[in-house]
Each structure stands twice: as C-alpha cells, then as structure tokens.
Amino acid sequence: MTEPPQPPNQPPTPSGYGHLPGPPQQGYGFPPPSENPYAQQPGHPPQPPTVQQHAGHGYPPPPPGGGPGATPKKKRAVLIAAAVAAALVLGGVGYVAFSGDDKDAKPTAQEPTDAKPSVAPSVAKGDGNGDAGPQQADLNAGRKQGEDKVLWLKSVKIDGPGMGVDSAGQWVVGDTVVKTVWKNLNGYSITDGKEKWTLPFPALICSVAAQATPEGRLAVMYRDGEGENTTCNQLRVVDLKTGKEVWSKEVPQEGLFDIFTSPTLAMTGDTVAVSRGGTASAFRISNGDKLFANPRGEGCHPDSYEAGNGKMIALVTCTDEEANTEVHGVDPVTGAKAWAFRLPAKFKVTSIYSVNPAVLDIGNEQEKKRAIVVLGPDGKQTATVTGEGSFAVGCGDAGIIRALSTCPTSVVDGNTLYMPTAAATGTANEIVAFDLTTGKAKWRTPAGDKRTLTPLKAVDGQLIAYRKAAESEQGGEVVSIPAAGGAPTALLRHPSGPAAPIEYAFYNPRMDYVDGRFFISVNHLRAQDVEEKLLMVFGK
C-alpha cells in the first residue's frame, strides 16, 4: 500500500489499515429493568447534541467498549498503528480479552459498620428546590465483609421534554460536588448529598467545560431563549464553591457564518476558548474581556481549541485542495502560534489523549490508516505509540463538525499513556501503559473476573481506575495500580445487595475519585416525571 506523502521535516507516517470509527450512535442503551426503580433506565429516543462536554467533532464519545462492561461492536475501534519500524496490520489484530482471578484486587476483610447511607433530597421538576424525596431502601443492607459503603444516592424528578434532558458534567470542588440538571447548576454536599446551592439559568444549558479551574470556576454556555429557533451563544462563568455567577455575556458572532454549531469550551489559566463550527473566540475567565477570535477565512486558520496541563492547542483547517490539517501550539492569552505540526495529506485528528504533552490520535479514513503520535514541546513528532490489541478510545471524529476534546477514558501522566482495551460483553479487558518516549507498551494489567477497567486519573505515582462489576448483583471497585506496573490494590470495594444494580445501570457515566470517595453520575435524564438516579457516592 502506498504511503501518504510526507510533510516537510516530519517523521514517517502511520502504516497499516483498520476500521476508522464513524459518528458514534447517540442512543442510550441500558441494562434490563429490575425491581429497583433506581436501577431501571429504559432506552429513550436519541438526544440532539446539545451539551458537548467531551465531544469529538461534535458528538459525545462512546465509553470504553460502549460503557464499562458492555461493548457494542459498532463502538469498538482497532486503534494502534505502527509508524516507523514495525507496521501493524490493524485489520488483522483481534480483540484482546483477558481473564484471571482477582485475588490481588480484594481489600482486607473488615466488619461492615454504619451501613445505612444518607438519603439525598430529590429535585421536583428541575427547579432545584427539592422535597424529601421517596423513601429509599437501605442500600448497604446485607453488606459482606470487606465491602465499603454507599454514602448517599441523589435522585431527581423532572417533568421535561419527551427526549429527556442533559445532565452533563461532574465537578468536585472542596466539600461540594456539582452537576448540571437541565436548566440548573446544582451543588451538593459531598458528605451527605444535601443540596448546598442551586443556580438557575434563563434557558437550556448547552455546553460545559470538562474541568473547573483550580480556584473552582467553571464556564457554562446556555441558549438565548426557549424553543427550537434559539442559539447556544450565552456564556457564563460560575464560582462552584459558592454557586454564584461571576459574569455572563453573549458571545459575539465572528463573521456571517458563525452559527454556534455544537460549541465546546476549553479553559486554562485565565482563558476560556469557545469553539463552534469552524469559528472560535477566547475570553478572560476573571472578567469576560475578549482576548482573541478566529473567524472562518482562507488559507489555514484555527477553528477549535483544547487545553490541559497549563497549555492550549488549536486544530487548524486549511482551505487548499488537499484540505490539510495542522495542530498549533498557541499562546492562550493572545492566540499567537508557538509551533505547528502538519498532518500527512488526508489525515485528521480523531482523538486527543493529552494537550501537554501533546498526544494525538490521527487517521486517514480513505486509506484506513491510523496512529497515535507524540509531539515534543516544539511541536515535532517524537514518537508513535505502537501495540497489539483493540482499544476503547472513548471519543472520535464525526467528520463534519471539527472540534478538539480530550478523551475522558485515557490518562496521560508524565511520559506514560494509560489506555483501556475494548472487551466483548462477558469478557475482561485490561489497561495498557505506553512509554511516550519510545511509544512501546511498558506493562499490561488485566481486569480479571470478566470485569472492565477504566482509567480515572494518576495521583502520587499511582493510576486510579474503576473496575466495573461483571454482573448487576456485584459491586464495582476503585483500584490503584503502581506507575511501574503490578497487581491492582482495592481502594474501595462497593457493596453488593440493593446498591449493586443501581451502580451497574449507570450508562456512559461521569466518574471521579477524590479524597477517598468515588462519585458516579448520569449524563442524561429521561425527565418523565418519575424519580431517577442522578449521582451516587461511595466511601469508607
């Protein structure tokens, strides 16, 4: 197969071929209904892409394997392609499934104490003023030795539109965990789930930043009115510690073709960038002052920004015959270009695993080629990640709406990329650690026991991961894996019994582990005037 032509001064490009994923399906599939009302989540009609918190090119990403523990074939992606010495033929690499005992992942047995979780009030009709909520069963009833506790379960009751409402995002700031719920931003106490504050928005929340600033500020976008013929162009910065607005403004149009299609938000330092449908602009988080803008234009122009670890990069689309794509390192205050990396002809960015260092998944759909490239501080390619297996990328390229967004299901820490492999239903997956200096796999840790592992974060030389149960009668686990590799150690072992089916039924959830507590929440609510689970918290 003919290799694509090389851009000037660039290392060899990816080789091999395989399936390049198209737009992920937007249906919300859930486990079969059970007798527990909080475990039931019947499927509902597809939701238009409003809140694009982790969207890759305008679509919400599939979780690893379509969600921990379930892997629809259409959402699997054969991902890793070799670029330099040993090219891998991706189409011939089978799905990697691992099994084995999990004795090393079990915590030391302990006697259950203080078993009954706090009951969080429910929100009626999404107004943020909850009543006492329904009487919940004791979610820790029958806890076994060695199992930890459900601290609380938050439910909501909303009578909304037929297609349901979004509840994207989850932010833990100090003693508060924050969720979007339709037109509200709600803050709950991390200890008992009681509502601390509610900030209503004038209209539908349509985009949120993935991460808050270290000071606890968050950028949120909402529509300029009710109804179908409205625009997602209103920007507000909120202090998540107090639930108070810092400032709000309408994002001005940058040219005639600025239509605010599926806007995404990226924050770093004192900058928030608003990217939408080929146009972007940036503002100061502290006061809303405009910093720079990039309207559509001829030549090569930045049209989407992503930030992380103190840096910002831009996706640059060129209007030449080849429709080339570049990635630029940019100054987040001025938007000035610091470096440029031109992708091979017909290649485009399909996923981003990290901004600093820049770790990009690039692909050529026509030639079925794909690779993960690592860029140095000057934008030059330093390595290509290579390895065997089928990997759950967690995000992808929708093709039409070009936007950057960091994948939520892979973690980069220092010079290591941690990725989960995909797993068919009923089989275990594994986490693979790649050395970003060489691009080679350093170690693999299997989930075992038909479970699935999803990386969450890297903290103090440890990778923190969620180990989802294989069956709805089992509880999940939070485990740590040494950065050098080794057997997982259980940090939390979630209870079986009535809590397990509720935990198991979270589909494509938001997850975090902070100060010994595990937070898991939904991204979408059916909003049919019945109690639904929103947020569940586990701890000691």
Residue 312 has pLDDT above 70, yes or no: yes
Beta strand 149-159 with 118-119 is parallel
Nearest to 353 by CA among 304, 382, 296, 394: 394
How many CB atoms sit inside 10 A of residue 281's CB?
Answer: 23
Map residue 468 onto helix, strand or coil.
strand
CB within 8 Å of 361: residues ≥ 6 apart: 79, 349, 350, 351, 352, 353, 370, 371, 372, 393
Say if residues 42 and 31 touch (Cβ distance below 8 Å).
no
Q: Residue 323 CA to chain centroid, in angstroms?
A: 28
Mean pLDDT across 412-438: 93
pLDDT value at residue 9 = 37
CA atoms of 50 and 45, how far apart (whole Å)? 14
- Distances, alpha carbon 140 to alpha carbons 14, 306, 499, in Å: 51, 41, 7
pLDDT value at residue 262 = 87
pLDDT value at residue 297 = 67
C-alpha count within 13 angstroms, C-beta hemisphere, residue 202? 17
Token pair for 268:
């770093």
pLDDT digits (tens, 9 = 90+) for 316-365: 988 877 778 999 999 999 999 999 999 999 898 988 999 999 999 998 88
Residue 139 pLDDT grade (very low, low, confident, very high; cuts 50, 70, 90):
very high
Mean pLDDT across 217-230: 94
CA atoms of 501 and 471, how far apart (whole Å)? 8
